[in-house]
């Protein structure tokens, strides 16, 4: 099967997932509200003191994204499991990585949409003023790199957890230990960027995040057939 037809299949799967999601929209709203709620909880937990809140802003934001975004992954395979569609999906010719890549794109769109709401709310709740000059561009880069790493592994592990027992527990247990480097990288670089990156550490962290994304995107694409075919 040619590479081009696999890319077309990837786009078809992404289109299918997003159309299905657009139709039922409910899950997107629910996850977004949950994200905002978690931010509020952090606000209450960390106390009204401005400095404490500002220091914890990046950490609270990323934990809100992780805890709410994770709900999207199992659901994204549920759309295949409901009508027994996974079997017919596997009967189409073509390689298996396009299924993963398609779902990855759809889940990325989903999580970015959630972040579109959650981030402004976080900036308001945690009194973080909009970074002036070019700082916002690197903050955006950190956000994208971190989210990509999160969604790659989330989509990958959900291919297993969605089809096994007690999947609500299994997915976080599989995913979150692997997320440590992303969490550290994203929170540390965001926090230091907020302070104008005094020790020039953001660049190094972003390098690590990029390496993490490349390594696990490759690993996921290569091993996905072993996960989906059995």
User: Contact positions toward another protein, by CB under 8 A?
Assistant: 1, 5, 8-9, 11-13, 15-16, 19-21, 23-24, 79, 82-85, 87-94, 153, 156-157, 160, 164-166, 169-170, 173-174, 176-178, 180-181, 184-185, 188, 199, 201, 204-205, 208, 211-212, 215-216, 219-220, 223, 226-227, 230
Task: Work out how close the CB of 170 gets to another protein at its nearest, in angstroms, rounded to a whole number.
Answer: 6
Task: Work out how close the CB of 37 gets to another protein at its nearest, in angstroms, rounded to a whole number.
Answer: 26
* Euclidean distance between CA atoms 207 and 204, whole angstroms: 5
Q: Are 54 and 127 in contact (CB under 8 A)?
A: yes
The contacts of residue 229 (CB under 8 Å, 6+ apart) are 90, 96
Which CB sits closer to another protein, 39 or 149? 149
Question: H/E/C letters for each residue in 94-139?
Answer: CCCHHHHHHHHHHHHHHHHHHHHHHHHHHHHHCCCCCCCCCHHHHH
Which CB sits closer to another protein, 46 or 170? 170
Closest CA to 190 of 56, 49, 52: 56
Task: Work out how close the CB of 116 gets to another protein at its nearest, in angstroms, rounded to a whole number.
Answer: 22
Q: If you search the block for the tokens 């759309």, which residue do you land on?
A: 79
Which CB sits closer to another protein, 39 or 76? 76
Task: Work out how close the CB of 124 gets to another protein at its nearest, in angstroms, rounded to a whole number.
Answer: 28
Task: Work out how close the CB of 104 gets to another protein at its nearest, in angstroms, rounded to a whole number.
Answer: 15
């Amino acid at each position: 099967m040619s590479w081009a037809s696999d890319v077309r299949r990837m786009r078809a799967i992404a289109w299918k997932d997003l159309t299905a999601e657009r139709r039922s929209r409910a899950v997107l709203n629910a996850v977004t509200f949950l994200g905002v709620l978690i931010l509020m909880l952090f606000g209450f937990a960390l106390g009204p003191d401005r400095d404490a809140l500002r220091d914890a802003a990046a950490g609270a934001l990323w934990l809100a994204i992780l805890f709410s975004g994770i709900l999207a992954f199992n659901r994204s395979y549920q759309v295949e499991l409901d009508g027994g569609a996974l079997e017919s999906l596997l009967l189409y010719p073509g390689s298996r990585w396009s299924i993963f890549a398609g779902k990855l794109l759809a889940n990325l769109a989903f999580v970015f949409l959630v972040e579109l709401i959650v981030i402004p709310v976080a900036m308001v709740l945690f009194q973080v003023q909009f970074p002036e000059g070019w700082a916002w561009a690197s903050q955006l880069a950190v956000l994208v790199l971190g989210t990509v790493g999160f969604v790659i592994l989330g989509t990958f592990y959900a291919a297993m957890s969605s089809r096994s027992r007690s999947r609500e527990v299994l997915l976080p247990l599989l995913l979150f230990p692997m997320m440590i480097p992303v969490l550290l990288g994203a929170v540390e670089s965001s926090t230091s960027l907020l302070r104008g990156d005094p020790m020039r550490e953001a660049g190094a962290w972003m390098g690590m995040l990029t390496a993490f994304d490349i390594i696990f995107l490759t690993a996921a694409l290569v091993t996905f057939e072993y996960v989906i075919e059995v």
